[in-house]
Amino acid sequence: MRITNGNGARVAFDPVVGPTFSKLISALANQGIVYIYGALSEGDTQIPVLKFYPKMATIRGYGLFQITLDDARRKCAVEYIVKGLASGALKPVIDRTFEFDEMVEVHRYLERNDQFGKIVVTV
């Protein structure tokens, strides 16, 4: 709420859910949408109805296969990404680059969860 000047987020993406899901609902704007695209938490996810209902929020699942297995959607997505990269509107953040022979170190680095951005492995 602080970074939205009290308005709340219009859209939130959550790969974790779990016991802290109610905090995300609290940070939504009225009629906000939460996209769940993973379940990294091992804990149960409870829907905080008393926070959720007054905001008339929406919770939707998202899976990459909705796009990758549909020819028209995949084509549209590829065009969007290519255009965004070419124009500079999309700027991937690369945390670190490794050589293929360093794969064991890549996994160790990822397990430490120290990265900010993508890990690139050069083949």
User: Do 59 and 83 fall into the same domain?
Assistant: no
What pLDDT, in 10s, does the model give residues 8-17?
999 999 999 9
Task: Domain count for the chain, please give it.
Answer: 2
- Summary mean pLDDT of the chain: 93
Across residues 99-113, what is the average pLDDT? 95
Q: How far are the Cα atoms of 1, 10, 51, 55 from residue 48, in angstroms, in the given order?
A: 17, 18, 6, 11
| Domain housing 42 | 2-64
Q: What are the tens digits of pLDDT across the range 75-98?
A: 999 999 999 999 999 999 999 999
- The answer on 70 and 32 residing in a single domain is no
Say yes or no: 25 and 58 in one domain.
Answer: yes
CB 30 within 8 A of CB 56: yes
- CATH classification of the domain holding 32: 3.40.50.720
